[in-house]
Structures are given as C-alpha cells and as structure tokens.
C-alpha cells in the first residue's frame, strides 16, 4: 500500500510539472522531468524549459548534461556541461528511487548518488534554464549540478551585462526551493522564472 501511495503521489508531481516538457515534440524525445520510482531509460532526454540544454543517460553508463549546438544531433556535436563520470566505472542503471535519492548503479553497487533521500512522497528531477541538473528530494534535500559557465540569455537580445536573479521554484508547495537564473534584466528574469514554474524572489 505504501508503495502504491508513493507511486500515485509521484504521478501527481509529474503532472504538476509537465510544463517542463519542452522541445520534446520537435525531437521525438519525451519527458521534461523524472519522477520518484522511475528508472531512466537509455538515450532518454530531459530538456530545460528554454530548450537549450538536455540531460541524457548514455549507453556508456554516463549521465551527461549538454548544451545544444545546431540541431542538437548527435550528442558529440554538443557542448559538455556536466556529467557523473560513471562511464569509466561501468554504470548500467540510473534510477530516481522511492526514497528520493537519484542513484547510478553498476549491478547492485552504487557509483554515484544525489544524496537527496529522506521521508516524504514528492520529489522531482528536472533541468534548469542555466544547464544545471536539479534533484529535489521529498524531505527538502536538494542537489544542483554546476551550471553553464558561459551563462544564459534569451536569443536575439542585446545584453551588455548578465546578472543573477533569485527565484522560488514551485512556490507554495511542499517541494518549493530557492534557485536563480542568469538574465540581462528584470523582464528577462521574470520570463525565465515563468518558464520554470517559479516567481522572482526568495521562497517564504
């Protein structure tokens, strides 16, 4: 019964954040989030809301965040942002466990984990507009990978200086957390916050 309740809650969380599923219709790769209890499929891509970044579980056992270059195909033509470096260790399974921990295994041996396990029923994995992978555990523990060092701005805008703006993601929910976006101005920051189901400012 507990497993069923966790699955149902994870499904509700997935429905709540399906706004993160962008660019999938153009690429044929579905899903913008990964929910608790889900095993990540090989070559499945999770895209950032702005469509500039994706994270992929590769056949070589590495979980990698890329910045799209051109059409975004194949992956070796894109810019590497971050990875778990588990390809050298023989990783063969990536799973967002029911306890809220995202773990890469070789058989039954854990090679890498997000360290986000804890009590609770709602957790989600998504990719932010700055190229950072976010794992939000059910107990409030969070993992965030390093963002694109070049920063992100909306295409077509003149931007004399990029600055960091604080945002609250999933405001007013049990999984809310503080984050930030890189933007040219307050309007650009507001635009990126909206894409992330967030609001400007700190969570209350």
The region of weakest confidence among 2-16, 53-67, 147-161, 190-204 is: 2-16
Considering only CA atoms, which of 73, 175, 190, 183 is closest in space to residue 125? Answer: 175
Q: Where are the beta strands (DSSP E) in 45-202?
A: 45-47, 53-57, 63-67, 79-83, 93-96, 102-106, 109-113, 124-127, 133-136, 142-144, 163-169, 177-183, 198-200
- Set out the domains of the chain in order of their start, with CATH numbers: 2-145 (2.90.10.10), 153-204 (no CATH)
Highest mean pLDDT out of 73-82, 87-96, 133-142: 87-96
Range with the poorest average pLDDT among 36-50, 132-146, 157-171, 188-202 = 157-171
pLDDT at residue 114 in the model: 96
DSSP-derived secondary structure letter, 51:
S
pLDDT-derived band at 99 (thresholds 50, 70, 90) equals very high
pLDDT tens for 1-43 read 444 334 334 333 333 333 333 333 222 233 357 888 899 999 8
pLDDT of residue 104: 97
How much is the pLDDT for 181?
A: 73
Hey, what are 156's tokens? 């077509």
């Amino acid at each position: 019964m507990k497993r069923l309740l966790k699955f149902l809650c994870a499904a509700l969380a997935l429905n709540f954040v399906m706004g993160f599923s962008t660019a999938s219709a153009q690429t044929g790769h579905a899903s913008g989030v990964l929910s608790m209890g889900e095993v990540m499929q090989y070559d499945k891509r999770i895209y950032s809301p702005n469509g500039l970044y994706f994270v992929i579980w590769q056949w070589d056992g590495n979980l990698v965040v890329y910045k799209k270059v051109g059409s975004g195909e194949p992956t070796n033509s894109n810019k590497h942002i971050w990875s778990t470096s588990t390809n050298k260790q023989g990783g063969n399974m990536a799973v967002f466990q029911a306890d809220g921990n995202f773990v890469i295994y070789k058989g039954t041996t854990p090679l890498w984990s997000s360290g986000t396990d804890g009590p609770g029923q709602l957790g989600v994995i998504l990719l932010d507009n700055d190229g950072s992978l976010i794992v939000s555990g059910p107990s409030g523990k969070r993992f965030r990978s390093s963002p694109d060092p070049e920063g992100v701005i909306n295409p077509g805008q003149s931007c004399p200086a990029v600055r960091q703006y604080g945002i609250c993601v999933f405001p007013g929910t049990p999984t809310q957390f503080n984050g930030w976006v890189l933007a040219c101005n307050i309007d650009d920051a507001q635009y990126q916050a909206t894409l992330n189901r967030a609001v400007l400012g700190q969570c209350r």
